[in-house]
Amino acid sequence: MNTDNIRIILASQSPRRRELLGGIGLAFEVIPSYDEEQPKETRPSRVVMELSLMKAGDVFQRRRDDPDSEKGLLVIGADTIVSLNGEILGKPKDEAEAYEMIRKLSGKDHEVFTGVTLYFYRPGMEEPRVKTFFEQTTVSFYPLTEEEIRFCVEKGEPMDKAGAYAIQGAAGRYISRIIGDINNVIGLPVPRLIQELKLLYNRPLA
């Protein structure tokens, strides 16, 4: 997978996604999308794909004609949500909402969905190639006491996390089971991303 002549942009300012993407050895820059994200879809898998498409498309359109546009351009957009029995749990507005979200997750299985969109373009191509996919991981919490829930909230970790918890943070000690890719829960399904990039680059580029 030779990416020497391709400018790679991660359309997210999430430090967790930056760390995961950096871990596979890609040189990239971060340009977050500030587009208003109001999905029309309602199913969790479709919501995350739509949101990732919005993010990647926004950054791609803004950077397609940059001065170094003689290089190829790959924009990676991603979005993660938590779903409990079909109810989407986003980022909590305050500590009270974070407490309520973690209380709902206590002792139950829930699903984590991450949608990813790849926008690829190289001079000479009529249109960019766009690939959107999602990964799903099941996460289970042990039953939590009020004190344990407060501990998670008071750590300050829930406020910018879907579902009000970070699996690599304080809440991780209360996870009983994970079915699927843990990277997907952190924010980027790296193994699936690598496979999709291999397919993208192995195809003729013009």
Q: How many CA atoms lie within 13 A of 103 on its CB side?
A: 10
Count other C-beta atoms under 10 Å from residue 145's C-beta: 10
Output the CA–CA distances (angstroms, integers) from residue 160 to 14, 35, 55, 202, in the order listed. 9, 18, 17, 36
Say which residues have a Cβ less than 8 Å from residue 68's Cβ, sequence separation at least 6. Answer: 7
How many Å is the Cα radius of gyration of the chain?
Answer: 18
Report the DSSP beta bridge partners of residue 121. Answer: 73
* Cα separation, 188 vs 92, whole angstroms: 20
Tokens (6 digits) for 140: 């289970």
Q: Of these residues, 79, 94, 109, 181, which one is catalytic?
A: 79
Of residues 83, 73, 82, the one with CA closest to residue 6: 73
Please answer whether residues 167 and 204 qualify as being in contact, where contact means their C-beta atoms are separated by less than 8 angstroms: no
Q: Is 58 a catalytic residue?
A: no
Give the distance, in angstroms, between the CA of residue 181 and the centroid of all CA atoms in the same chain. 13
State the catalytic residues. Answer: 79
